[in-house]
Amino acid sequence: MSTTVLAAGNHFIRPNLFTEAVRAAAGDLPLDVRELRFPWPHTPFGPVAEVIEASGSEDEMIEALQGVQICVTEHGPLTERILANCPDLKLFCTSRGGPVNANLEAATRHGVAVCYAPGRNATATAEHTLTLLLAAARGVGDTHTDLRKGTWRGDYYDYDNCGIEIDGATVGLIGYGAIGSRVAKVLRVMGAEVLVHDPYVRPEALAGIAEQVSLDALLRRSRMVSLHARVTDETKGMIGCDQIAAMPRGSILVNCARGALLDYEAACDALESGHLAGAGFDVFPEEPLPADSRLLTAPGVVLTPHIAGGSQQVAHKAADIVAAEVGRYLRGEPLVHCANPEALKAS
């Protein structure tokens, strides 16, 4: 008997990428794959009923999931109402780093296993972090803007306006997971002294690469600081006015993690006063950025629109990770990245 799969993609991970990956993972097992495309990123994601960071609507998902046993998606929502109206669904795979678009408690009650794709964009985000770090350290944002306006400013070569090099600099990383550890290895090769603040990191993971220090010590010693922590009650707003003030004057600050980690008003104050020589931001407290945001006029800042985790390779990696879970499920093998394994016992 054929298994019906919904490949609910978008304009980044296109439905056909999910379809191709799922068929490859399933091998000779018979599949009936339906495709659906959501409007992200052309239309921002947001809350759908009780879940966050989702795209599409409950009605759209309910219609598309009729008779479907397995769904692979990136931003498609999985809510209590969807689950109640889609009794055939047994496996929901979201190709994100966490199942933020799924109601896990409701899924477990309905016997629907939810899988996700950890590490899918670690390489892309690490590379983008380094891009912003280098650009901010060398004043690329302001010099680029001036040249586009037709202004050639020789004073950028003045000593006080010159950028700083990675080689020989002390760089502090707040968080040492899949992304932070990749950034650290590259920085080390480039000649930086790397400091890490991460209460959960194993000492052996830092050997020969970085030194574990307290947050206060990291801020005090680092000429460049990059954020790589997850947002929790403990880390929300962890870098504010006092923390930025603790950094040496002329420092660089980069955030490709989450906007909620940083007080951006404090960062703008520091950029305008010259305490921060530069900054690189890919994530923000409000997305898209409002037209009156101070970040759009703050000196020394390099901005990108939350694209650190976006590369063609990421689209394929993400599809492959969740497709592998589909293959395991179909063959009766243990799931590797299941957020609610207890749902398998209930189904």
List, by residue number, the catalytic residues.
Answer: 258, 287, 306
**Shortest CA distance to 130 belongs to which of 197, 184, 89?**
184
CA dihedral in degrees (205, 282, 116, 173; nearest 10)? 10
User: What is the layout of strands, in order, in the sheet containing 3-9?
Assistant: 31-37, 3-9, 70-73, 91-94, 113-115
| Rounded Cα distance, 267 and 234, in Å | 20
- Burial category of 311 from C-beta neighbours within 10 Å (exposed 0-12, middle 13-18, buried 19 and up): middle
User: Angle at CA 240, nearest 5°, toward 213 and 131?
Assistant: 70
| Rounded Cα distance, 280 and 128, in Å | 10
Give me 198's structure tokens: 């991460």
Beta bridge partners of 33: 5
**Shortest CA distance to 22 belongs to which of 326, 318, 314, 316?**
326
| Rounded Cα distance, 115 and 340, in Å | 8
Note whether 116 and 317 are within 8 A (CB): no
Note whether 295 and 266 are within 8 A (CB): no
Alpha-carbon distances of 135 from 113, 165, 177, 188, rounded to whole Å: 43, 11, 23, 18
Three-class DSSP category at 190: coil
